[in-house]
Chain A
Amino acid sequence: MTKIKKSIVQLLVTCMVDAIRPQVGTAVKTILNNNGCEVGFPKQQTCCGQPAFNAGFLKQARAMARHTIDVFTNTSGPVVVPSGSCTDMIVHHYPELLKSDPVYSSKAKSLSKRTYEFTQFLVDKLGLTNVGAKYNGKATYHPCCHGLRNLNLVEQPSTLLDNVEDLEQVALPCAEECCGFGGLFSVRMSEISGAMLEKKLSNVEESGADVLIAGDVGCIIHMEGSLRRKGSNIQVKHIAEILNGCD
């Protein structure tokens, strides 16, 4: 095997993956390693601040944005994030939040320019369409809203999933309708969130899939938490877990 020079990428794993679903981070690291990337994990990283930002607490959101910027400013290479929502926060909201900050406005812009959602990085930056994954199951894909609408993540996840060996894909009715997570919305407006969730899950059931794939751990635990309570056998997986081929 010819030795290729490894390029370095930084993993912003997200607080949700860090605390609740570390196997997603491990899957991302493995896939990146397998495709010629050396992965750095700056250990000072915490939370990107989106929950504060979405609730309107801008002072707190700014503090967390500055912290995240500091953590990644002294690193090199692209920043890869296994979440469309957190990527959207860094790419679109950090520059806006910090536009009047004399020190951080330019730093926010430069972090924004080198930050990519995981599937976006694989397809658009590494030029991959097939990561050599194998997964035996009947799957349906839920496009999480921020990735779908704010990062236009359509082709990237679908290309990668199309090339997973043994993965049968079925269409999700009303796929682009929100699952009702919305961060604090799911707690603060829990009744509405619950009604949206019911609708999403009845569409998932209608699809006939036995595995539901999504790209954001927030939406995943929201849907999984309800499926579990109902005693459903449908599994919910992050796309990185599927692409890492863990059956």
Chain B
Amino acid sequence: MAATELSFYDRISDALAKPEGQLAISAGAKAKYDNRARAMSEFPSMEITRDRARSIRAHTLSQLDKFLAEFADNVEALGGHIFWAKDAQECNQYINEIARAKDVQLVAKAKSMLTEEISLNQSLETSGIDVVETDLGEFIVQLSGDKPSHIIAPILHMTREDVGNVFNEKLNVPFSDDPATLNAIARTHMREIFLKADMGISGVNFGVSESGAICLVTNEGNGRLISTAPRIHVAVMGMERLVPTLGDLSIMLQLLARSATGQKLTAYSSILCGPRRKNEHDGPEELHIVILDNGRSEILGSALSEILYCIRCGACLNACPVFHSIGGHAYGSVYPGPVGSVLSPLLFGDPWNPLPHASSLCGACKEVCPVNIDLPGLLLESRSQQIAKGKSPLLMRLSQWIYAITSCNPILFGLALRSGQVVSRLLAHDGWFTTLPGPLQGWSVHRDFPALAKKSFRQLWDKPSQD
């Protein structure tokens, strides 16, 4: 993924300058958060299931090589093709080659953040192939030339009016902001795409090692259509997205739907085993599963490997007060929110280093994670790795050392307190500072800062009468 021209801080300012967009995001995320909470409260074995899910993820990743090999063997035994892609380029090239060899003109896509990660659409379009997103939200994003702002709800940042305007402008239909009317317009437009497409491209929610099956979940049925109607189905899977058995899959599906949208199960959960067999009437003639690394094997075994447990439910985004405030676009990554703040610097490099700092470490994300990823812990780990590599401003390093040296020496600490008291006496008004100097300005832009107390607690302790 390429870095955008604006810095993270500029994007934050931009996002905060659009109150309507922020309201839509915050209301949408809050509704999902509440739905999740309700679904979980009606799920008596939630904590046990969550522990089980976490141990399944840990177990799978601890022997990922074994499970990947088993999965690949089983896919091939079912008649599917496996391609191991090291990075975005290899993946896109492979899919382009198939498209060229099989004379593919039109691709129908199901929603996949992984294909966003590698900019697959752009790559295919450059080769002259038409690509249509068939998930309603992604379709709207594509029509409006926008980017998804949430991993589950791509148009979280848009209002009904926005969608009406996009349809009016791009599909040449009368303006409406009625969801049923808008759905009907999209359905009519999409039906033709499903029937005409030569190739369907999807992600993979989970691959099942023991059988070589892949599981796709959607709420619109488009995943099922694009994986059965076109003659070729290409599924792009992150190398970590495996479960060992179908039993494990059932645990994951129960948590995924509840965590993402508050549903007990998504409307369509398709488990696909290989391409069309003899005597079968539907299904693709060819199935290609691309297993993509793109930086994941580097994360595996590192201090941040727990981030690979993620099943992309989006619950941490919905719970995150930072995400509520700035929305997904400000992160400048396909993966926003707490999970994105850990993942993005790992997958996309240094330009995303400020993201892990955009957290108050409140822990709301960890509370809702279906596989109990210690997201605040990973954000801290990510920060400390940056510091260990010297990736922090000199002034910050210097002030941290001064602060540490002072705090390790009670005499210096006492002196610092007294100096603070003198400064407070001279410069604070009525017990408060209204502006702070230099890098501390950030504080005083939004709030006053209290003057130091005339007598610190340690001084009062010595002479309690001065209380």
A181 vs B321: C-alpha distance when bound (angstroms): 12
Q: A64-B404, A191-B16 are in contact. List 18 more A-B contacts (CB 8 A).
A: A15-B407, A19-B420, A20-B450, A22-B456, A22-B460, A23-B453, A41-B461, A46-B409, A56-B388, A60-B401, A67-B407, A182-B362, A186-B443, A188-B357, A190-B445, A191-B9, A196-B322, A225-B447
A window 55-102: CB within 8 A of B: 55-61, 63-64, 66-67
Known: A149-B367, A182-B362. A55 touches B396 (CB 8 A): yes
Q: Is B268 an interface residue (CB 8 A)?
A: no
Q: B360 contacts A44, CB within 8 Å? A: no
B window 1-52: CB within 8 A of A: 9, 12-13, 16, 22
Interface centre among B364, B367, B457, by most chain A C-beta atoms within 10 angstroms, is B457
User: Within the complex, what minimum Cβ distance (angstroms) separates A45 from chain B?
Assistant: 8
Q: Quick one: which of B360, B410, B420, B445 contacts A196, CB cutoff 8 A?
A: B360
Q: B360 contacts A181, CB within 8 Å? A: yes
B window 431-467: CB within 8 A of A: 432, 434, 439-443, 445-450, 452-453, 455-458, 460-461, 467
Q: B360 contacts A193, CB within 8 Å? A: yes
A228 vs B325: C-alpha distance when bound (angstroms): 23
A window 39-56: CB within 8 A of B: 41, 43-47, 49, 51-56
Q: Is A240 an interface residue (CB 8 A)?
A: no
- Chain B: residues with CB nearer than 8 A to chain A? 9, 12-13, 16, 22, 321-322, 324-326, 357-364, 366-367, 380, 382-388, 392, 396-397, 400-401, 403-404, 406-410, 413, 417, 420, 432, 434, 439-443, 445-450, 452-453, 455-458, 460-461, 467
Q: B361 contacts A54, CB within 8 Å? A: yes
User: Within the complex, what minimum Cβ distance (angstroms) separates A230 from chain B?
Assistant: 9
User: Within the complex, what minimum Cβ distance (angstroms) separates A46 from chain B?
Assistant: 4
Q: Is A13 an interface residue (CB 8 A)?
A: yes
Q: Quick one: which of B324, B326, B364 contacts A176, CB cutoff 8 A?
A: B364
Known: A187-B440, A189-B358, A195-B325. A226 touches B447 (CB 8 A): yes
A16 vs B136: C-alpha distance when bound (angstroms): 51
Listed by A's residue number, 8 A-B pairs whose Cβ atoms lie within 8 Å are: A19-B453, A43-B458, A55-B400, A188-B357, A191-B12, A196-B322, A196-B360, A225-B449
Q: Is A235 an interface residue (CB 8 A)?
A: no
Q: Quick one: which of A47, A53, A196 contacts B325, CB cutoff 8 A?
A: A196
Q: Is A26 an interface residue (CB 8 A)?
A: yes
Q: B387 contacts A58, CB within 8 Å? A: yes
Q: B458 contacts A229, CB within 8 Å? A: no
A26 vs B387: C-alpha distance when bound (angstroms): 38
Q: B458 contacts A149, CB within 8 Å? A: no
Q: Quick one: which of A46, A150, A180 contacts B360, CB cutoff 8 A?
A: A180
Residues of B close to A18: CB separation below 8 A: 417, 456-458
Q: Quick one: which of B16, B360, B452, B453 contacts A185, CB cutoff 8 A?
A: B360
Residues of A close to B455: CB separation below 8 A: 22
Closest 9 CB pairs of A and B: A182-B360, A190-B442, A56-B383, A225-B447, A60-B404, A194-B446, A178-B362, A22-B457, A56-B384
Residue of A nearest to B445 (CB): A190
Q: Is A241 an interface residue (CB 8 A)?
A: no
Known: A196-B325, A197-B447. A149 touches B457 (CB 8 A): no
A44 vs B366: C-alpha distance when bound (angstroms): 36
Q: A52 contacts B400, CB within 8 Å? A: yes
Known: A149-B367, A182-B362, A192-B325. A44 touches B410 (CB 8 A): yes
Interface centre among A25, A176, A181, A225, by most chain B C-beta atoms within 10 angstroms, is A225
Residues of B close to A43: CB separation below 8 A: 410, 458, 461
- Chain A: residues with CB nearer than 8 A to chain B? 13, 15, 17-23, 25-26, 41, 43-47, 49, 51-61, 63-64, 66-67, 145-146, 149-150, 176-178, 180-183, 185-197, 199, 221-222, 224-226, 228-229
Residues of B close to A45: CB separation below 8 A: 410
Known: A19-B420, A20-B450. A182 touches B359 (CB 8 A): yes
A13 vs B417: C-alpha distance when bound (angstroms): 14
User: Within the complex, what minimum Cβ distance (angstroms) separates B415 from chain A?
Assistant: 12
Interface centre among A17, A18, A58, A192, by most chain B C-beta atoms within 10 angstroms, is A192
Residue of A nearest to B386 (CB): A56
Residues of B close to A61: CB separation below 8 A: 404
Interface centre among A49, A194, A199, by most chain B C-beta atoms within 10 angstroms, is A194
Residues of B close to A49: CB separation below 8 A: 404, 407
Residues of B close to A185: CB separation below 8 A: 357-361
Interface centre among A61, A197, A229, by most chain B C-beta atoms within 10 angstroms, is A229
Known: A53-B380, A190-B442. A228 touches B448 (CB 8 A): yes
Q: B363 contacts A150, CB within 8 Å? A: yes
A57 vs B400: C-alpha distance when bound (angstroms): 7
Residues of A close to B385: CB separation below 8 A: 56
User: Within the complex, what minimum Cβ distance (angstroms) separates B445 from chain A?
Assistant: 6
Q: A192 contacts B326, CB within 8 Å? A: yes
Q: B446 contacts A197, CB within 8 Å? A: yes
Q: A187 contacts B403, CB within 8 Å? A: no
User: Within the complex, what minimum Cβ distance (angstroms) separates A131 from chain B?
Assistant: 20
Residue of A nearest to B440 (CB): A187
Q: A225 contacts B432, CB within 8 Å? A: yes
Q: Quick one: which of B325, B363, B447 contacts A199, CB cutoff 8 A?
A: B325
Residue of B nearest to A28 (CB): B457
